[in-house]
Chain A
Amino acid sequence: MNPKVTRRRFIKGVVASGAAATTTGMWYAANGQDRPGGAVERLIRINVNGQMRSVDVAPQETLASTLRYKLGLTGTKLGCNRGECGACTVVVDDVATYACSVLTHSMKNARIETVEGLESPNGDLHPVQQAFVEELSPQCGYCTPGQVMAAVALLRENPNPTREEARHAMSGNICRCGSYDSYLDGVMRAVQLG
Chain B
Amino acid sequence: MAYMHIGKDFVPPDVPGKVTGRIKYAEDYTREGMVYSRLLTSPIPHARVLDIDASEALAMDGVFGILTADDVYPDGEPQSTGLKILTNEPTLVGEPILALAAIDEKTAETAISRINVTFERLPFVLDPLDSLAEGGANAYPGDQNTFVFRQGFATEKWTEDQVASFRAGNEPTAEAQQTWSLGDLEAGFAASEFVYETTFTTAGYPHHSMEPRSAMAYWEDGKLYLHGTSQSLTALADGMAPIIGVPKEDIVFINAATGGGFGQRARANSIPSMAIPAKLSQKINRPVMMRITREEEFTIGGARQGFQGWIKAGFKPDGVMSACDLYIISDNGGKGGGGDASSAADCIDVLYQPDALRFRGTSIGSNTAHRGAQRGPGQNQIAPIIAPILDKAADALGISRLEIRKINAPRNGDVAGPRQTPFTSAYVPESLDMATRQFDWEGRQARRRQRNGSKVIGLGLGQGYHNAGRSGMDGIVTMGTDGRLKIHNGVGNLGTYSYASTSRAAAEVLKMPWENCDILNVRTDNHLPITSPQDGSNSIFTNTRTMFGAATDMLNKMKEIAATDLGGDPADYDVSNERVHQIADESIGYTYAEVAQRATELGGKFTGEADLPEELAEWTQISVSRLAGSAFMGVYHDPRHEGNPPGFTVTCCEIELDLETGKYEILDMVTIAESGTIVHPQGMENQLVGGAVWGIGLSGYERHLYDPQNGLPASTGYWQSKVPTYLDTPVKIGTGWVDLPDPENPVGARGIGEPSMGAVSAALTAAITDALDGHHFATAPITADMIINHLAGTEENAAPLAQNNFRG
Binding site for B on A (CB under 8 A): 8, 12, 15-16, 18-20, 22-28, 31, 33-35, 73-82, 84-85, 87, 114-116, 118-119, 125, 128-129, 132-133, 135-145, 148, 163-164, 167-168, 170-171, 173-182, 184
Contacts and interface: CB of A to CB of B under 8 A. Distances in A.
28 contacts: A8-B806, A15-B705, A15-B714, A16-B712, A19-B716, A20-B710, A23-B94, A25-B109, A26-B109, A27-B109, A75-B21, A77-B210, A82-B294, A125-B19, A138-B15, A140-B211, A140-B258, A140-B260, A140-B495, A141-B18, A143-B210, A144-B19, A148-B19, A176-B209, A176-B260, A178-B690, A178-B724, A180-B726
B260 A28 contact: no
B317 interface: no
B494 A163 contact: no
B808 interface: yes
Nearest to B683: A136
Interface in B5-44: 9, 11-12, 14-25, 27-28, 38-39, 41, 43
Interface string B84-121: 00000000011000000000111111000000000000
Contacts of A34: 106
A132 B19 contact: yes
Given A28-B109, A84-B718, A179-B689, A139 B20 contact: no
B520 to A, nearest CB: 20
Contact of A84 (B25, B104, B714, B717): B717
B18 A28 contact: no
Contact of A139 (B208, B294, B690, B808): B690
B690 A177 contact: yes
A46 B342 CA distance: 58
Given A12-B806, A23-B93, A176-B209, A140 B718 contact: no
Contact of A140 (B210, B713, B727): B210
A79 to B, nearest CB: 5
The DSSP consensus for interface residues of chain A is loop
A134 B722 CA distance: 30
Given A79-B210, A181-B729, 11 more contacts: A19-B712, A19-B720, A25-B293, A73-B21, A85-B718, A139-B260, A140-B495, A141-B15, A142-B210, A175-B210, A182-B686
B149 interface: no
B295 A22 contact: yes
A31 B214 CA distance: 15
B706 to A, nearest CB: 8
Interface stretch (B268-276, B322-330, B480-488, B691-699): B691-699
Interface string B530-562: 000000000000000000000000000000000
Nearest to A142: B259
Contacts of A139: 260, 494-496, 686, 690
B685 interface: yes
A176 B295 CA distance: 16
Contacts of A167: 726-727, 731
Contacts of B93: 23
B487 to A, nearest CB: 20
Given A74-B28, A138-B19, A23 B295 contact: yes
B151 interface: no
Contacts of B107: 33
The DSSP consensus for interface residues of chain B is loop
Interface residues of B, number: 85
Nearest to A69: B30
B707 interface: yes
Contact of A168 (B104, B259, B727, B732): B727
Contact of A177 (B210, B257, B720, B732): B210
B286 interface: no
A133 to B, nearest CB: 5
Contacts of B14: 141
A118 B21 CA distance: 10
A170 B726 contact: yes
B733 interface: yes
Nearest to B756: A178
Interface string B283-298: 0000000010111100
A90 to B, nearest CB: 11
Contacts of A81: 293-294
Contacts of B209: 140, 142, 176
B19 A171 contact: no
B39 A142 contact: no
Nearest to B715: A15
Contact of B211 (A15, A16, A28, A142): A142
Contacts of B16: 125, 129, 133
Nearest to B669: A181
Contacts of A12: 806
Nearest to A130: B19
A148 B260 CA distance: 18
Contact of B22 (A75, A164, A170, A171): A75
B296 A25 contact: yes
Nearest to A143: B210
A141 B109 contact: no
A141 B23 contact: yes
Given A145-B21, A176-B723, A178-B692, A136 B15 contact: yes
Contacts of B38: 25, 27
A180 B733 CA distance: 10
5 interchain residue pairs of minimum CB distance: A75-B21, A178-B693, A142-B259, A139-B495, A141-B18
Contacts of B716: 19, 22
B538 to A, nearest CB: 18
B403 interface: no
A170 B727 CA distance: 9
Nearest to A136: B682
A174 B21 contact: no
B773 interface: no
B290 to A, nearest CB: 10
Given A80-B294, A174-B210, A140 B20 contact: no
A84 B715 CA distance: 12
A128 B686 CA distance: 18
A87 B20 contact: no
